[in-house]
């Protein structure tokens, strides 16, 4: 991982309007989620007097069926969605990198075993497992993070394994081996640094799919439980008021779309930036 690559990534990022837009959107959403309390309202305080108020000066995003301020709920909801996305990405990437590197570096029966295992897990529709686990375990934010992470690490493990296989044939790795360095030392000093671009790209794409999974789960009613909001569960309740208050469905969906879109765009830009020759768009 050398400096020129980072410079390349940076110029790639700022060269396209999409990249800048994605960064701005994600920064605004993250800040909004962190500083959600600044709206001065409580996301769960109900007020029957202002039920289903359309967006206006007092309530920018309107109010929901319980008269709760929708913007505040959306910001707090974003907190959960982004948290789930980041946390499960970190866990999934951790597991994926560990298994991928071990499998790719040591090869042999261990590799076959791990890869067969991944084949089996991925041959069961993951969304079904997701539903099942969220029923078995009590749906708390922590559990949801864990469940999503457990379903996402396989992809990154496969990519990391493939990359490790090519890295371990490089001259400097062969040299390190020949000069008697321990496997652990080689992995730390030579393999992992070479994997950084792959990991970053994979992680970025993983956040996008984690956020998507969480919102699907919450939308179906198996995610974070009421009265706490996430974008998915907000859409779930909005469904019942679609005729009277379509804006209730509009905002959370738009937030999910923009967030996931931004992460996907960033992932692609990073991939091109790290491997300009291979992946030029």
**Interface residues toward other proteins, by CB under 8 A:** 116, 119-120, 122-129, 131-132, 135-136, 208, 212, 215-216, 219-222, 232, 235, 238-239, 242-243, 246, 249-250, 252-253, 256-257, 260-261, 264-265, 281
Rounded distance between C-alpha atoms, residue 91 and residue 88, angstroms: 5
CA angle 139, 142, 146 (to 5 degrees): 95
| Distance of closest approach, residue 49 Cβ to other proteins, in angstroms | 27
| Distance of closest approach, residue 138 Cβ to other proteins, in angstroms | 10
| Distance of closest approach, residue 29 Cβ to other proteins, in angstroms | 14
Please return the burial class of 107, using the count of CB atoms within 10 Å of its CB with bins 0-12, 13-18 and 19+. Answer: middle
Rounded distance between C-alpha atoms, residue 69 and residue 58, angstroms: 9
**Of the two residues 58 and 257, which places its CB atom closer to other proteins in the complex?**
257
Rounded distance between C-alpha atoms, residue 211 and residue 179, angstroms: 45
| Distance of closest approach, residue 207 Cβ to other proteins, in angstroms | 12
**Of the two residues 127 and 188, which places its CB atom closer to other proteins in the complex?**
127
**Of the two residues 145 and 211, which places its CB atom closer to other proteins in the complex?**
211
273 touches 5 (CB < 8 A): yes
Rounded distance between C-alpha atoms, residue 52 and residue 199, angstroms: 44
| Distance of closest approach, residue 244 Cβ to other proteins, in angstroms | 10
**Of the two residues 156 and 249, which places its CB atom closer to other proteins in the complex?**
249
**Of the two residues 19 and 176, which places its CB atom closer to other proteins in the complex?**
19
**N- to C-terminal Cα separation, the chain:** 22
**Of the two residues 39 and 103, which places its CB atom closer to other proteins in the complex?**
103
Cβ partners under 8 Å of residue 84, min gap 6: 141, 144, 145, 148, 210, 211, 214, 230
**Of the two residues 37 and 127, which places its CB atom closer to other proteins in the complex?**
127
Q: What dihedral angle (degrees, nearest 10) is formed by the CA atoms of 203, 208, 213, 214? A: 100
Rounded distance between C-alpha atoms, residue 256 and residue 210, angstroms: 11
| Distance of closest approach, residue 214 Cβ to other proteins, in angstroms | 10
Count, residues in the chain: 281
| Distance of closest approach, residue 172 Cβ to other proteins, in angstroms | 28
Other CB atoms within 10 Å distance of the CB of residue 250: 15
């Amino acid at each position: 991982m050398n400096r020129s690559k980072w410079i390349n990534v940076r110029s790639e990022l700022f060269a396209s309007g999409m990249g800048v837009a994605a960064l701005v959107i994600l920064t605004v959403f993250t800040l909004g989620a962190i500083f959600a309390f600044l709206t001065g309202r409580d996301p769960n305080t109900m007020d029957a007097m202002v039920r289903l108020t359309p967006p206006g000066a007092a309530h920018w995003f309107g109010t929901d069926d319980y008269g709760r301020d929708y913007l505040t709920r959306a910001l707090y909801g974003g907190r959960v969605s982004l948290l789930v996305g980041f946390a499960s990405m970190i866990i999934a990437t951790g597991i994926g990198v560990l298994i991928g590197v071990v499998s790719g570096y040591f090869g042999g029966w261990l590799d076959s075993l791990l890869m067969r295992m991944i084949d089996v897990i991925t041959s069961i529709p993951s969304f079904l497992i997701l539903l099942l686990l969220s029923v078995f375990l009590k749906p708390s934010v922590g559990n949801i993070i864990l469940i999503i992470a457990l379903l996402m690490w396989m992809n990154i493990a496969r990519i990391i394994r493939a990359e490790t296989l090519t890295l371990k044939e490089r001259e400097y790795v062969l040299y390190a081996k020949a000069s008697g360095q321990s496997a652990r030392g080689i992995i730390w000093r030579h393999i992992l640094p070479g994997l950084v671009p792959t990991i970053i790209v994979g992680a970025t794409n993983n956040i996008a799919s984690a956020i998507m999974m969480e919102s699907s789960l919450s939308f179906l009613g198996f995610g974070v439980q009421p009265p706490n909001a996430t974008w998915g569960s907000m859409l779930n309740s909005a469904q019942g008021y679609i005729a009277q208050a379509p804006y209730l469905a509009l905002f959370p969906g738009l937030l999910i779309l923009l967030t996931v879109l931004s992460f996907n765009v960033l992932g692609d830009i990073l991939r091109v930036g790290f491997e300009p020759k291979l992946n030029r768009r």
